[in-house]
Chain A
Amino acid sequence: MSDNLRKGQVIGVNGNMVSVEFLTNVMQNEVAYIVQGSDRLKSEVIRIRGKRAELQVFEDTNDIKIGDCVEFSGELLSVELGPGLLGQVFDGLQNPLPRLAQDHGFFLKRGVYLSALEDDQQWEFTPTVKKGDKVRSGSKLGFVPEKIFEHSIMVPFHLSGELEVVEIVAKGKYKIKDVVAKVKSLDGKTHDVCMKTIWPVKMPINAYSKKLKPIKPLVSKIRIIDTLVPVAVGGTFCTPGPFGAGKTVLQHLLSRHAEVDVVVIAACGERAGEVVEVLKTFPELKDPRTQKTLMDRTIIICNTSSMPVAARESSVYTAVTIAEYYRQMGLNVFLLADSTSRWAQAMREMSGRLEEIPGEEAFPAYLETRIASFYERAGIVQLRDGKTGSVTIGGAVSPAGGNFEEPVTQATLKVVGAFHGLSRDRANARKYPAIDPLQSWSKYESFIEFEKVEKGIRILKRSDQIDQMMKVVGEEGTTLDDFVEYLKGDFFDSVYLQQNAFDEVDEATIADRQKYIFDIIVEIIDKKFDFKGKEDARKFFLDLRQKFINWNTKKFNSSEFKSLEKNVLDQIQVTKVEQNA
């Protein structure tokens, strides 16, 4: 029922910010609709002063007039959660884009909002509790099959304290709005539970017993990440880089290969062309773990750069809320946001319109807090049934001018557990992924022993020093020993840290193979070679490199793999003189 008093009228328009005079109470961040004939433009309250509220509109503000009626919904910006999310493509406000295209054609029609989930679809519900059972928010009441998972139907997250199941339906087919259970809270109130639930996007879902420390490595199958700058399950990382350094390709690879259950891709303000590539190729790609299409475990939140800026701001929240929802089922969810800079820029745009006092580079003073609270929604948690679930967040950052000193990169670095800095130099030299191994860092542990990893880092640093020196004194002025150190670092970089994203074997390396190969790399780093001269040494490493790169393209433990491995090992043995202490 719309209450007459919960209305207001437009008194100002500036870009996509609308000022409204309201008559009674209004809630910060509540959703309001600007009524324009038959159109209702969705917006969110972002500031209240006296009887005046500022709204950011998630749509084009064309033709809004002073005096236009505004209806306040009394609800915070929320998403629908329930079976049917997997495989979907939504915009930042959770509008299903393919269904919009069906209904409205090529263009995104203003003021059209579809519900995220299909109301009429039937789901086979199997209860797992019985009448009288004691439950709490987030407890599993039953499940329905969704794609490759058992999708848990849970006690709504907003209910608190101990609850008692007073009714539970029998196994059978139900729609998402059907009541499948009733639970009674301690105050004697009974609450209906359906398969669909609503949650405000800007609030974390916290129906779990405790948050744990992320320690288990997340296998991304990108060697440089897993070995040198790893990510933990439930951890956070950021990938800053100038344009052209390969952020998006890297994110696509991660979304395809990382060993997780569900992937949520949030495209906030990125190129439509790239989003389309994911959209059209994922359904055709097979998930190596399930042999089903990759889309079956993927959800895409897509707000391209030309879609309204306010919706871009909400897209990361929509994405992380959906990620938390699947985490509550005990799944490991991977959220990739590309790019959080665009999200921050959206905040900057709105802040400028609100005429707030600007902070560094005109970003609002609350930039750091917002970034921090977004990344803090990652984590591995112990659920009430003892299982664990996780949300891992990786954000791509697009720093202005490729300069990592800028506020968004800096604010992000403070709160993430790993930093994968992409470098223009490496990208120009066609070294992929272009993560700079000397600038990047991680606070998490790799699945490869620390002592070995250290050896890798040490040789890279040494090699880099010698390379710098050679630029001054030339190759002639460098000792043979130093030159060999340089070659070792270069070799490690080119055969291990770089991966060929266009080779179906080399593009993703499983953990066992990484461990296996890294042992050989370490052996080479440790080995003292006896070369006649620099030419000799260079030839040796070029040869070895060629063999290694071929070896990288063979399936692990296949017969070809074995024979090329023998090749590699033979070459190392031949010149073996003595082992370092």
Chain B
Amino acid sequence: MHKVYNEIIQIAGDVITVEAKNVGYNELAEVQTQGSISLAQVIRLDGDRVSLQVLSGSRGISTNDKVRFLKHPMQVSFTQDLLGRIFTGSGESRDNGPALTENMIAIGGPSVNPAKRIIPKNMIRTGIPMIDVFNSLVESQKLPIFSVAGEPYNPLLARIAMQAEVDMIILGGMGLKYDDYLFFKDTLEKQGALSRSILFVHTASDPTVECLLVPDMSLAVAEQFALEGKRVLVLLTDMTNFADALKEIAITMEQIPSNRGYPGDLYSQLAKRYEKAVDFDGAGSITVLAVTTMPGDDVTHPVPDNTGYITEGQFYLKGGRIEPFGSLSRLKQQVNGDTRDDHRTIMDRMIQFYADYRETLEKKSMGFQMSGWDNKLLKYGDRFEKELMALSVNIPLEKALDLGWEILSSTFDKSETGIKDALIEKYWPKK
């Protein structure tokens, strides 16, 4: 039997301290309060003083509650039974289904040896032209969606999940509004995708500490499936809530804060999760799409800033659209050379014209006179926004490219496009 400690000497935030011996760093414990049992994780050892973060929060914990150490770190069950299920951040059932206890694996495992990675090479089609044509998503990519509160980032995430050509989806929700949680659940159910999905959801009203476990739970499970050869898409929303949870715990632990109160290891913490994205040499892959809401739409805020240095590009969601400027898929050139021979040209030229359109709009708003060329650009930009940029557009890549040609040909002469003749001959719509 494990020894039970029943003197809690400090409670601060969600962190409790007991005096105990023979406890391992990061080990898990059970805290038994009146009527309920909560898990807690060791986050600091100082002589006999052991500090633990209580996953369900410290509310209602009294100094004589019982603490029992479990001799293992945080774990999650890995079985095929996970599919179609919904869990909390600490791995408990959220859907009234049975608890899963077989084949427990540790979460937050070691880093992948870079020598066992391969260069990503498969495009993941989403049916969204702003992604497929202009910033292709690539299998094993780690990519945040930078956005602000109020933008439809969760619907976007759900749509990508529904349409992406992957074997399975793992959704990690952090600080989700209850409505958003139901939205994801309903969408997946309605589209019949729940059976190939696993959800780990922490909602805004759940204890903060559970929020911290969501990415690790999601990614640990993803990793096991990927090792079995599955192509897994992990959706994380919202990583800013995760970072804020880190901040809360760090401040409780009286750690010296670095930037805007975030802990000094924010970069390492985020990287540790994002770097789980991988294409294994000889097995499956993990692709990570994560929402990062930017406080005040400020990309230099520590969370988006640190994220940008870790991830392989970003999608900017602004005004209900994926912005062509600022959005970037660093891996797109690995895949967009092998799709169709006009892909890269359409991608470049249409964005350049769109940039010109923006300039013309600016000139127009300042009252400058519009030239014939300006008017062409205005017409072009309008069609581009409505027919390609709108998030409601849902067409395969090839259709989107054809549509691109159609828009170009309806506004410009061949010679005005600056596209080389061979492509014009092949793709310019015949009237």
A-B contact pairs, 7 of them (CB 8 A): A101-B116, A272-B114, A272-B278, A306-B112, A352-B265, A362-B257, A400-B302
Q: Please state if B258 and A361 are interface contacts (CB–CB under 8 Å).
A: yes
What is the interface size of chain A, counting residues whose CB is below 8 A from a CB of the partner?
67
Query: A279 contacts which chain B residues (CB < 8 A)?
Result: 114-115
Return the CB mask of B19-30 against A: 1 if under 8 Å, else 0. Answer: 001111111000
Instruction: Give residues in A with beta carbon < 8 Å to B.
Output: 10-15, 19, 60-67, 89, 97-98, 100-101, 104-110, 242-244, 269, 271-273, 275-277, 279-281, 302, 304-307, 309, 339, 342, 345, 348-349, 351-353, 355-356, 358, 361-363, 398, 400-403, 428, 474
List the 3 shortest-distance A-B pairs measured between CB atoms, nearest first: A401-B300, A305-B271, A306-B275
Q: Tell me if B328 and A244 are in contact (CB < 8 A).
A: yes
- Tell me if A62 and B25 are in contact (CB < 8 A): yes
Report the separation of the CA atoms of residues A407 and B172 in the bound assembly, to the nearest whole angstrom: 35
Whether B47 pairs with A12 at a CB distance below 8 angstroms is yes
Q: Nearest-CB distance from A112 to chain B (Å)?
A: 10
Distance in Å: Cβ of A168 to nearest Cβ of chain B: 38
Please name all residues of chain B whose beta carbon is closer than 8 Å to the beta carbon of A65 when the two chains form the complex. 22-25, 45
Q: Give the distance in Å from the alpha carbon of A311 to the alpha carbon of B290 in the complex.
A: 27
Give the contact-size bracket for chain B.
35 or more
With A65-B25, A106-B280, A272-B275 as known contacts, state yes or no: A428 contacts B325, CB within 8 Å.
yes
Q: Contact between B112 and A108 (Cβ–Cβ < 8 Å)?
A: yes
Q: Is B255 an interface residue (CB 8 A)?
A: yes
Q: B113 near A97 (CB under 8 angstroms)?
A: yes
Complex contacts, B27 vs chain A, CB 8 Å: 63
Write the nearest CB–CB distance from B120 to chain A, whole angstroms.
7
Taking CB atoms, residues of chain A closer than 8 Å to B277 are 273
A306: which of B255, B272, B300, B313 is its contact (CB, 8 Å)?
B272
What total of A-B pairs shows CB separation below 8 Å?
184
Chain B contacts for A348, CB-based, 8 A: 258, 264
Contact mask for chain B residues 37-55; partner A; CB cutoff 8 A; 1 contact, 0 none: 0000000111110000000
- Nearest A residue to B113 by beta-carbon distance? A101
Chain B residues whose C-beta falls within 8 Å of the C-beta of A305 in the assembled complex: 267-268, 271-272, 274-275, 310
Q: Is the CB of B268 within 8 A of A309?
A: yes
Cβ 8 A contact of B111, one of A62, A63, A108, A363: A108
On whether A61 and B26 interact (CB within 8 A), knowing A272-B278, A309-B265, the answer reads: yes
Nearest-Cβ distance from residue B297 to partner chain A, whole angstroms? 14
A400 touches B256 (CB 8 A): no
The yes or no answer to B109 lying at the interface (CB within 8 A) is: yes
Q: Pick from A13, A339, A358: contact of B256, CB below 8 A.
A: A358
Beyond the given A66-B45, A342-B267, A353-B255, please list 19 additional residue pairs across the A-B interface where CB-CB is below 8 A.
Answer: A13-B25, A13-B44, A62-B73, A63-B27, A63-B73, A64-B24, A65-B22, A105-B113, A106-B112, A243-B305, A272-B114, A272-B117, A273-B312, A276-B114, A305-B267, A305-B275, A309-B265, A361-B258, A361-B259
Give the complex CA separation of A428 and B313 in angstroms: 13
Q: How far is the CA of A293 from the CA of B308 in the complex (A)?
A: 32
Closest to B308 in A: A243
Pairwise interchain contact B325-A304, C-beta atoms closer than 8 A? no
With A61-B26, A66-B48 in contact, do A107 and B258 touch (Cβ < 8 Å)?
Answer: no
Q: Please judge, given known A-B contacts A66-B45, A352-B256, A362-B259, whether A106 and B113 are in contact too, CB under 8 Å.
A: yes
Residues of B within 8 A of A (CB): 21-27, 44-48, 73, 109-120, 140-142, 227, 255-259, 263-265, 267-268, 271-272, 274-278, 280, 283, 300-302, 305-306, 308-313, 325-326, 328, 330-331, 368
- A12-B46 contact in complex given A243-B309, A304-B114, A307-B111, C-beta closer than 8 Å: yes
Find the B residue at minimum CB distance from A68: B24
Q: Which residues of B contact A63 (CB under 8 A)?
A: 24-27, 73
Are A400 and B112 in contact, CB atoms less than 8 angstroms apart? no
Q: Which residues of the other chain, A, contact B310 by a CB distance below 8 angstroms?
A: 271, 305
Q: Which residue of A lies closest to B254 (CB)?
A: A355
Contact B115 A400 (CB under 8 A): no
Residue in contact with B275 in the complex, picked from A105, A304, A403, CB distance below 8 Å = A304
- Rounded to whole Å, the gap between the CB of A468 and the closest CB of chain B is 16
- Nearest chain-A residue to B352 (Cβ)? A430
Asked if B111 and A398 make an inter-chain contact with CB atoms under 8 angstroms apart, the answer reads: no
**Given contact pairs A63-B26, A398-B309, A402-B300, A276 touches B368 in the complex (Cβ within 8 A):** no
A306 touches B309 (CB 8 A): no
In the complex, what distance in Å separates the CA atom of A80 from the CA atom of B45?
A: 35
Whether the pair A280, B24 counts as a contact (CB closer than 8 A) is no
CB-CB < 8 A to A10: which residues of B?
Answer: 45
Q: Which of B23, B227, B258, B300 gathers the greatest number of chain A CB atoms within 10 Å? A: B258
Question: Given A400-B305, A402-B300, A403-B300, does the pair A66, B111 have CB atoms closer than 8 Å?
Answer: no
